[in-house]
């Protein structure tokens, strides 16, 4: 992979804060940190543009909640075209973590996430937006 050098001009205070952040994050260089920011921006653009994307939906719930597992499974069966894999982890006697790997249209993935969020009894739902890696 060929590298391209370019320069940017920023307010001194922003650079100081940025340098402090990348030191705290153990990022080796400004170039690496800026490249990471650019890639994050490009992934966000992919999601807004409606291109095929990949990601993970993360759920935490009390499995003793009436019919919650059945409700979550029923919703997932309506989105088989998006779901690549699921992983179910028992966090403790009561709580479960479920990770749903998805790939496809971001509008449909968002619809799936919203349907899952609507299930009563969930303690947490989030989506980790990713990329299929094409175009990088």
**Domain limits of the chain?**
12-49, 53-130
| pLDDT(115) > 90 | yes
- Angle at which helices 12-24 and 30-49 pack, to 10 degrees? 90
Q: Which two tokens stand for residue 35?
A: 């490249």
The mean pLDDT value for 44-57 works out to 88
Please tell me the least confidently modeled range out of 54-63, 107-116, 124-133. Answer: 124-133
Say how far apart CA 41 and CA 68 lie, in whole Å. Answer: 35
| pLDDT(110) > 90 | yes
Q: Among candidates 136, 105, 113, which has minimal Cα distance to 41?
A: 136
The mean pLDDT value for 101-119 works out to 95
Burial class (CB in 10 A: 0-12, 13-18, 19+), 100: buried
**pLDDT at res. 46:** 84
Residue range 53-130 in CATH 3.40.50.2000: no
């Amino acid at each position: 992979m060929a590298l391209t050098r370019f320069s940017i001009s920023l307010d001194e205070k922003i650079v100081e804060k940025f340098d402090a952040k990348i030191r705290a994050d153990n990022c080796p260089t400004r170039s690496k940190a800026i490249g990471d920011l650019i890639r994050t921006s490009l992934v966000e653009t992919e999601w807004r543009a409606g291109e095929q994307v990949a990601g993970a939906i993360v759920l935490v719930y009390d499995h003793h909640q009436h019919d919650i597992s059945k409700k979550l499974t029923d919703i997932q069966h309506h989105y088989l075209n998006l779901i690549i894999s699921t992983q179910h982890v028992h966090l403790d006697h009561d709580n479960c973590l479920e990770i749903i790997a998805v790939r496809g249209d971001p509008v449909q993935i968002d619809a799936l996430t919203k349907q899952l969020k609507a299930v009563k009894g969930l303690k947490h739902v989030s989506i980790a937006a990713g990329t299929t890696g094409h175009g990088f």
